[in-house]
Each structure stands twice: as C-alpha cells, then as structure tokens.
Chain A
Amino acid sequence: MPDLLIELFSEEIPARMQAQAAQDLRRLVTDNLVEAGLTYAHAGAFVTPRRLTLALEGLLDRSPDTREERKGPKVGAPDKAVEGFARGAGVAPADLERRETGKGEVYFAVIQRTGRPAAEIVAEVLEQAIRGFPWPKSMRWGAGTLRWVRPLHRIVCVLTREDGHEIVPLELDGIVAGDVTEGHRFMAPGEIRVTGFDDYAAKLRRAKVLIDPEERAGTIWNDATNLAFASGAEIVEDRALLTEVAGLVEWPVTLMGRIDEGYLDLPPEVLQTSMREHQKFFSVRDPKSGRITRFVTVANRETADDGATILAGNQRVLAARLADAAFFWRNDLTVAREAKMQPWIDNLASVTFHAKLGTEADRTARIAALARELAPAVGADPDAAEQAAKLAKADLTSEMVYEFPELQGIMGQYYAREAGFPDDVATAVAEHYAPLGPSDTVPTAPVSVAVSLAEKIDKLTGFWAIDEKPSGSKDPYALRRAALGVIRILISNDLRVSLLEDRIISKADLLVAENEDGISGPDPDRYGPDLLAFLHDRLKVHLRDEGIRHDVIDACLAMPGNDDLTLLVKRARALGGFLATEDGTNLVQGFKRANNILTQAEEKDGVEYSFGADAKFADTDEERALFAALDAEGPKIEAAMRDEDFAAAMTSLAALRAPIDAFFEGVQVNADTQIVRRNRLNLLSRIRGLCLDVADLTRVEG
C-alpha cells in the first residue's frame, strides 16, 4: 500500500492562517479520498510560512470495484419510463436485466464500477481541494485565474511504494505537480528532489526547514527560556505570540537583547505591548523586581556572525519605538501630574462614541450618574464611584493610548495614581472594561464593580434605545460581551440588583434620552423588557456552559423577580442540582401527574381547585400520609423560599416524593363521591402550589 505526500509550496502564508489551513488541507483531501473509496491508515498535516504539507500512510492502491443493483419499472411499462430509468442508472436500455419478482417481470439495472488507481483519484481530489480551498482571503497573481492565499509556485504530489515513487499527474493553471520542492529561502536555496514523506522531512531538515509548527514552537520556547534563565531572568509567557512567531520562520534562531537603560522605567505593559505588537518580541522579566529588562526575538536564519547584525538591527528598531513611547509617557505624565488629567477629560467632548449616542464626554456623564446610582447596591462609596467613572475614559485622549489603543484603562490607572487619586478609584479606571471575555477576571472591588456595571449597562441601554441590537454574527459594538460582563459581575459578586424593578435599565434609558436628540423621552416599558430578554438569552448560554439545562433555566425564568439575575441563577443552580437526583426526577413526575389530572378536571368542571383540601375527608392511609407530609413540609418550603434558600426548599420538596408516589399508587382521584373527589383534587392543588412556588416545573422536560 502506497504512502502519499502532498506539498503546496507558495509565497509567505500569513501566520494567523497557517494552523487552520493545515487542518483544512487534511480534511478536504482525506474526506474526498475516503468518499471515492480510497481509505488510508494515518494522516499528518504540517505547515510553514511557505508550504502546506500532507502525508498519508497506507493508502489503498486503487479504489475497490463496486456493484449496485437498482429495481426499475415493470416489463411492459411505457418506453419513456424504461429509458428514463436506464438513463438515471447510467446503463444502456439494452443492458437492463429482466427478472421475475413474483409480482411480474421487472427491469433491473446492474451498475458495475471498476475501481480506479490511486493516482487518478488523488489528482482529482487534490485539484478540487486547491480550487475550493477555504482561505479567509485569497488572491490572483500574474495573468492567471487560480486563487491561493499568495502565489502558489509548486505542487509536490507523489505516491511512494516499496519499489519506488510515482508522481501523480496533475496540472493546475500551468503548475505541474512533481517531486521537487525547495529548501530555506536564504540558507538552502535551490531544488530538492524527494521520494516520499520520510525523505522529504529529512532533506528539508538538512535544508534548514522544520516542517512541524509544534517543533518550531517547542524549539523557540526552549531556547528562549534557556537564554533567559542563563541571565537569571524569565520569559513572560505568551502563547499567541509563540504560535505567531513559529508561523513566521522555517528555521527559528532565538536571540536575546537588552533594553536600553533609559527605557526601563516605562510601565511594563508599555514595554510589553510595544515589543509584542510592533516587533513580535517576547518580554524577559527580572523575577526579583518584576521589571522587563530584556527581549527575545526569533530570526529565520543562522548567520556567520551568530546573529550579531540581526540583533543589533532589532535593538535599534526597538530603541526608536521606545523613544516614541517614552516621549508619550513623559508628555502624559505632565498632564496627569500638573492638570490632574483634566485636559483629556475635556477632550472627550470631541471624541464621538456613536453618532446617535453622542461623545465620550456624554457617555462619561451617563456612566458617572449610573455608577453613583448603583454604588449603594454594590457596597461602593457613591462619590468614589462617580469620580472613577469620570476618569474612566480620560486616557482615550492621552498620547500613549492613541498610539497603543490596547493599553486603554491600564494607562488611565497609572495616570490616575500619578494625579493623586485614591487607589480604589485608580484601580476602577483599569478594571472598568473588565471582564473582556468569558475567561477574563471579573472585578470584585466595589468601586470597580459599580463603574464596570454602569459602563456596560449604559452601552446596552444606549444601543437598545437607538435600535442597533446584535443580529446573527453581527455584533459590531460587542454587546453580547457587555451583556455577559453584566451577568458575570452580578453573579460572581453575589449582587442583588433588580434591573427593572430598581429602575436600573430605565434610569440608564433616561440618561440616554436626556443627552440625545432624536431619542424620544424616557419610557421605562419601551425596551427594558426586550433588553432583559437579551440578558436572559446570554445567561442561558452562560449557564449551559456550566452544565445547567435550558429547560431548568426556563423553569426559573418563568418565576417572578427574574430581573434579579443573581436570584435567578441561585434558583437555577438549586433546581439543576435537585433534578440530577432520583428524588428530583421522580418528584417532577409526581408534580406533572398531579398537574395533568388537575388541569383536566379544572377544564371539565370549569372551576379552579385551589382551596380547602381537608384531612377529615381523607379515607385512605396514603391520602392521610400525604396530608401529613404537606402539613409538615409546606411551612418549611415557604420559610425557605422567604429566605431564598432554594436548596432547603428543594430538600423539603424531596421529602414529598414518597408520599406523592404512594398516593398515586394507592388512590383513585376520581372517586365516586363528589366530596371525596373534590377534596383529592384540592389536595393535588396543594402539591402544585408548593412546587410552583419553587420553580415553574411545567417547563421541565422528562
């Protein structure tokens, strides 16, 4: 059985696209080979900046012969029908077989397909894969029409057998597949002839190309940590950067350089961002002082001077970058220390946040008012919250953030400290953007919580007010992220805020409306419920990741007070836990049975059974036991619910399970005597009432 080697050799593939491209090549080729009957034992995909490689082991030499029979019309059916059938099956009408089926003679088509040699199938599959390759962005070049991520130069496509290798015949827009590739662009230029994957990988390694991105990343990480360790320092870990850098080189050579003394007092975030964004350098930290003192850069070649020229060049470029950064830092510090950041705050009036939602100054005023409003509920000092909110966006007009937008908040924190604002205010300036993603840390300091919540609620309310909600994959203002932020801040800080009841949403609405023309006056009912529904949707997604079923959440959403997300989650978690027990599932069964019987009876009788079940009309032991259990557990459940102790409430509910089961086992609800029947229905209604106080169990599945 042959092995297959494919290499698509091109000009430099963007680093960010490489991993996905290797996977796509593997998927497109293997799926279609298997589809065509050509199975294989093992597949490996590799990628460098200049090549995509796929190696398959143990491919079938040819696809198996197949035979398929199709039953057609009866003999004697109209000619048209018979011809149509034959055409559909791909056989000549004369080749149809007539067979006795017991219900008369019927035409059969026997479709025989002879297997095809691997090379033929591979050529088709690869051509299809190249032409339909799902690059995020592709291009044409020269005078051709082929599309690839960058100009494609060579295709290696060989089948390797014990007795030699075979070039798969394939030509695409003038590129003829062969067995020739090239080594490293600078260190081993020229053609390399290969016979199969092992030969290919070994020859490329000699030609200074490591085809496996994992190996390149591993080498870089190893060398970088060793270099740092040897000078008593450590690398600041950065996975994304490591992957990116491994995608920029075929032969990684790691070099460590110093940062000029003059720049060492820049904030570490500034050094790190400048080095990562502009130069793709790793930061090297002094573990004792925590300061960033050196950098590691990864070159794509060895040189006669052991990288001295390359390192010197990189150091010069970095010095120029840091000179800019230091210039911004000094200018900004002056504004912070001497003017307490006020010029930046003033400048916010000329920064548009959104055409319909005003400037960043307008937005800051809204956030400050809302943060003040929220402060008591989150345990923050209202003055501090308002102060922090007013400073929160100031750094947007600082020079450093203009240059490095990703440092927003972080610079604000430094500047707020320099300006002499209290620590909790400065921290809130940095933290008010958090959490930025589902795994980002949630602020816990009260002032930070107040400003962060206010910032997100203002954003959501504002965009709801102008009706620019996210739809499908379109969420240009990251409103889903803002909603998830609100949810996570409330839940993880155990904050009790009723977004509608406490008029939080409508307060924000009012603020938006006060600020802006064209947004009609405040109307608390206008979109508050719609925004709450959006928050509920995001909450469902969030809780689903936590393993809580959607029907459980629905059962809790249907309860009053669902604008208090913390309460909602407490209830959902308790219910989810309860339903995971046997008692829980059985109780739901019992509840549903009771509810069904009741609903039917109520429909039939046209009354609601909700009152006056009396133990004295009970005439079976099971009935009496159920009365006793309800009398015992009912008050406990009510008390637990008053305390919002859902777990205790559910434990008490669980105690009802056995009596309810026994009741349905031994008692016929529809008794002959009306008094007994009504009494039993009213008894069921007590069960229903108690259960529905805890959650809307009608919405629970199963």
Chain B
Amino acid sequence: MSQPRCFQDIILALQSYWAEAGCAILQPYDMEVGAGTFHPATTLRALGPGHWAAAYVQPSRRPTDGRYGDSPNRWQHYYQFQVIVKPSPPDLQALYLGSLRAIGIDAELHDIRFVEDDWESPTLGAWGLGWEVWCDGMEVSQFTYFQQVGGHDCHPVSGELTYGLERLAMYVLGYDDGNAMPFNPPDAPIPLTYGDVFREAEAQYARWNFDVADTETLLRHFVDAEAEAARILAEPQTDPRTGRHIVMAQPAYDQAIKASHIFNLLDARGVISVTERQAYIGRVRALTRACADAFLATDAGGRAA
C-alpha cells in the first residue's frame, strides 16, 4: 500500500486490509450512536455461540465533545473504525499490527506498545480486558477482549479493535489541526479538507446540542423509547400471523440505542444532575440487558434448537 494522502485513504486502506483478512465489510448502522460498539454487529453479535467477523466505519456522536468546529482535535461527530472477530483468533495482535502497516505505520521506525486499558461500558452492561495501543506515545487504537456484554458472559470471546480515525489520520498524515487535514486526495479536481466537510455542521450541532435542543421533548422521547422497547420485548416469541419463532431483539435494541443517544443529548444540555446520571445509565443498561437476553433467544443468538 502506498502511503495514504488523505482521510479517506485511511478508511479505504483499513477496509481493504480487513476484507483481505476475512471480515465482512459492513456499513455504518443507520442510527445515532456514541461509539462503534453500539452497532448491533458488535453488541448483539458478541453474544451467543455463533462465529462472526466484521469490520465497518461508524460515524459516532458525542454531543459534549462539540467545540463549534473550532478545536483542532475534538468534534461532536467523528468516525470510528471497528473490527470484531469471534472467537478472537490467536494472531489478532499480529493482524492488528498488519493493519497499521497497511495505513503506513512502519513498525521498524515507530514505537508500538500495548498499554493496559480495560474497557467498560456501563450503558451496555459490558466490559473487557485489553490495551490502548500507543504509537510513539500516542493512543491509536483500543484493543479489547470482550468478557461480558449485556450482563452475559461472552462464550466464545470476541476480539474488538477500535480505531479513532481522526486522531489516527492526523498522526499518519502529519496534521496537528484536524480541520486542515485533506479528506479526499489533495490533487483531486475539488480537494476538500476535513473542515470543509464538517466544520459548518459542527457549529450548528454544537449550538443545538448545548443550547437549543428541547429538553422536554428529549425527556419524552427517552421515556417513549424505553416504553417501546419494553412493549416489543413483551410480545410473544411466536408471530401470530406466520406462526414463526421471531424474537424482535434488534427492533428493541434500536430503542435502546435511541435512549442512549437521547441521554447523551440531555447530558450535553446540562439538565442531568450527578445523582440522576447514575439512574439514567442504569435505565439504559436495563434496556440493553433485556435486548441481550432477547438476542440469545433468537437463532442468530444460538437459541437451542
């Protein structure tokens, strides 16, 4: 692979590397999520006995990270590249290092280290052990062996890799200001920087996230999502119309994703107190747990035949 010249080269290089390595290259999940882990291809597929290998880009949103497009390295909307392989193969570290090579990080010249960093997601009821991977002192990825998701032990264990694409690309491309980084090749007829693509939207979302989003509406939507998930999961597992066994784990999980994102928005609006915070996290966790239970009752989740 030639040295990447722009942001999208990094994405394309990672996609083709992991495609070559045998992963299904999926597309982003079509909902607002805080991180790539929320994609059902990770959260739900990490559960149950089925084998799985997927990689995808996931646009992610963290409303509190908004800086009106003015920060060189923080945006409320950003990209993660996510790889999940179940069971984790014995050579996952080597595969991962190969992916760094594919985006132009030569381990002969750089100092690559695996530094302890355990991962926990209170809203997903999930945790795992692993590292943050350092390249010359900079964190370029998270590397995690999932131990529990949705309150269930993972058997087999999934290996999960998360690349923070902006930071990684800035490092590889040599930009201190992410907005100045080329998004498409600099010699394209219409060259675009990362800032050209996102800066305006960042300002708009920062204003909406911090000051304008209607908290009454959001609170109502949170409760609605919670109620809808409960209603979906309370339906009988046999479809009265077709007589088929259909557990609607993923539609319910969509509601959990919604609730989680609404919680993040409410947090950015500053209307959630420290004590309420724990309670909200607990409510989202209860939702994802219920969805995890439901997924295990599906065929994909390894329902006992």
Q: Please, which residues of chain A bring their CB within 8 A of the CB of B129?
A: 137, 139, 149-150
Interface residues of B in 127-174 (CB under 8 A from A): 128-131, 135-138, 145, 147, 154-157, 159, 171
**Which residue on B lies nearest to A174, using beta carbons?**
B90
Contact call A11/B88, Cβ cutoff below 8 A:
no
Residue among A49, A137, A140, A279 with the most chain B CB within 10 A?
A: A140
Contact call B110/A316, Cβ cutoff below 8 A:
no
CB-CB under 8 A for A355 and B116, given A137-B129, A139-B145, A140-B157 = no
Contact of B145 among A141, A153, A319 (CB under 8 A): A141
Q: Please, which residues of chain A bring their CB within 8 A of the CB of B109?
A: 303-305, 309-310
Q: Please, which residues of chain B bring their CB within 8 A of the CB of A424?
A: none
Q: Please, which residues of chain A bring their CB within 8 A of the CB of B115?
A: 12, 15, 248
Contact call A313/B136, Cβ cutoff below 8 A:
yes
**Which residue on B lies nearest to A145, using beta carbons?**
B155
Q: Please, which residues of chain B bring their CB within 8 A of the CB of A313?
A: 110-111, 135-138, 171
Interface residues of B in 71-124 (CB under 8 A from A): 72-73, 87-90, 93, 107-116, 118
**Which residue on B lies nearest to A355, using beta carbons?**
B275
B142 to chain A, nearest CB (A): 14
CB-CB under 8 A for A16 and B147, given A139-B157, A143-B87, A310-B111 = no
Does residue B176 face the partner (Cβ distance < 8 Å to A)? yes
Contact call A139/B137, Cβ cutoff below 8 A:
no
A670 to chain B, nearest CB (A): 72
Contact call A186/B112, Cβ cutoff below 8 A:
yes
Contact call B107/A186, Cβ cutoff below 8 A:
yes
Does residue B274 face the partner (Cβ distance < 8 Å to A)? yes
Q: Please, which residues of chain B bring their CB within 8 A of the CB of A305?
A: 109
Q: Please, which residues of chain B bring their CB within 8 A of the CB of A309?
A: 109-110, 136
Contact call A279/B131, Cβ cutoff below 8 A:
no
Contact call A318/B87, Cβ cutoff below 8 A:
no
Whole-angstrom CA separation of A558 from B159 in the bound complex: 62
Contact of A140 among B111, B137, B147 (CB under 8 A): B147
Whole-angstrom CA separation of A217 from B136 in the bound complex: 20
Whole-angstrom CA separation of A186 from B109 in the bound complex: 10
Whole-angstrom CA separation of A149 from B116 in the bound complex: 11
What 1/0 mask marks residues of chain A from 275 to 297 whose CB sits below 8 Å from any chain B CB?
00001110000000000000001
Whole-angstrom CA separation of A151 from B96 in the bound complex: 15
B157 to chain A, nearest CB (A): 5
Contact of A142 among B73, B89, B108, B176 (CB under 8 A): B89
Contact call B131/A12, Cβ cutoff below 8 A:
yes
B72 to chain A, nearest CB (A): 8
Whole-angstrom CA separation of A316 from B137 in the bound complex: 9
Whole-angstrom CA separation of A301 from B73 in the bound complex: 29
**Which residue on A lies nearest to B112, using beta carbons?**
A186
Residues of B in contact (CB 8 Å), total 38
Contact of B113 among A300, A317, A319 (CB under 8 A): A300
CB-CB under 8 A for A352 and B147, given A186-B107, A300-B113, A309-B110 = no
CB-CB under 8 A for A139 and B113, given A151-B90, A355-B275 = no
CB-CB under 8 A for A142 and B110, given A14-B116, A151-B90 = no
Contact call B137/A279, Cβ cutoff below 8 A:
yes
Does residue A314 face the partner (Cβ distance < 8 Å to B)? yes
Q: How large is the interface on A (under 10, 10 to 19, 20 to 34, 35 or more residues)?
A: 35 or more
Contact call B136/A12, Cβ cutoff below 8 A:
no
**Which residue on A lies nearest to B114, using beta carbons?**
A12
Q: Please, which residues of chain A bring their CB within 8 A of the CB of B116?
A: 12, 14-16
Contact call A304/B108, Cβ cutoff below 8 A:
yes
CB-CB under 8 A for A352 and B113, given A139-B147, A141-B157, A317-B137 = no
A153 to chain B, nearest CB (A): 7
B200 to chain A, nearest CB (A): 23
CB-CB under 8 A for A142 and B111, given A151-B145, A279-B137, A314-B136 = no
Whole-angstrom CA separation of A280 from B117 in the bound complex: 14
Does residue A639 face the partner (Cβ distance < 8 Å to B)? no
**Which residue on B lies nearest to A189, using beta carbons?**
B94
Q: Please, which residues of chain A bring their CB within 8 A of the CB of B147?
A: 139-140
Q: Please, which residues of chain B bring their CB within 8 A of the CB of A14?
A: 116
Contact call A310/B90, Cβ cutoff below 8 A:
no
Interface residues of B in 235-281 (CB under 8 A from A): 273-275
Contact call B110/A352, Cβ cutoff below 8 A:
no
Whole-angstrom CA separation of A139 from B156 in the bound complex: 12
Contact call A352/B136, Cβ cutoff below 8 A:
no
Whole-angstrom CA separation of A464 from B273 in the bound complex: 25
Whole-angstrom CA separation of A301 from B113 in the bound complex: 10
Contact call A310/B110, Cβ cutoff below 8 A:
yes
B71 to chain A, nearest CB (A): 10
Does residue A320 face the partner (Cβ distance < 8 Å to B)? yes
What 1/0 mask marks residues of chain A from 11 to 24 whose CB sits below 8 Å from any chain B CB?
11011100000000
Q: Please, which residues of chain A bring their CB within 8 A of the CB of B89?
A: 142
Q: Please, which residues of chain A bring their CB within 8 A of the CB of B112?
A: 186, 300
Q: Please, which residues of chain A bring their CB within 8 A of the CB of B171?
A: 313, 316
Whole-angstrom CA separation of A310 from B109 in the bound complex: 7
Interface residues of B in 36-78 (CB under 8 A from A): 72-73
Contact call A142/B90, Cβ cutoff below 8 A:
yes
What 1/0 mask marks residues of chain A from 233 to 265 whose CB sits below 8 Å from any chain B CB?
000000000000000110000000000000000
Q: Please, which residues of chain A bring their CB within 8 A of the CB of B90?
A: 142, 151, 153
**Which residue on B lies nearest to A281, using beta carbons?**
B137
Q: Please, which residues of chain B bring their CB within 8 A of the CB of A141?
A: 87-88, 145, 157, 159
**Which residue on B lies nearest to A318, using beta carbons?**
B137
Whole-angstrom CA separation of A280 from B113 in the bound complex: 12
**Which residue on A lies nearest to B154, using beta carbons?**
A140
- 27 intermolecular pairs with C-beta atoms under 8 Å apart: A11-B93, A137-B129, A139-B129, A140-B155, A141-B145, A141-B159, A142-B88, A142-B157, A144-B156, A149-B129, A150-B129, A150-B145, A153-B90, A248-B115, A280-B137, A303-B108, A304-B108, A305-B109, A310-B111, A310-B136, A312-B136, A313-B110, A313-B135, A316-B176, A320-B73, A352-B274, A352-B275
Those 4 A-B pairs whose CB atoms lie nearest each other, nearest first: A313-B136, A14-B116, A12-B114, A143-B156
Other 8 A-B pairs with CB < 8 A, given A16-B116, A300-B113, A317-B136: A11-B93, A139-B157, A141-B88, A142-B87, A186-B107, A300-B111, A303-B109, A310-B136
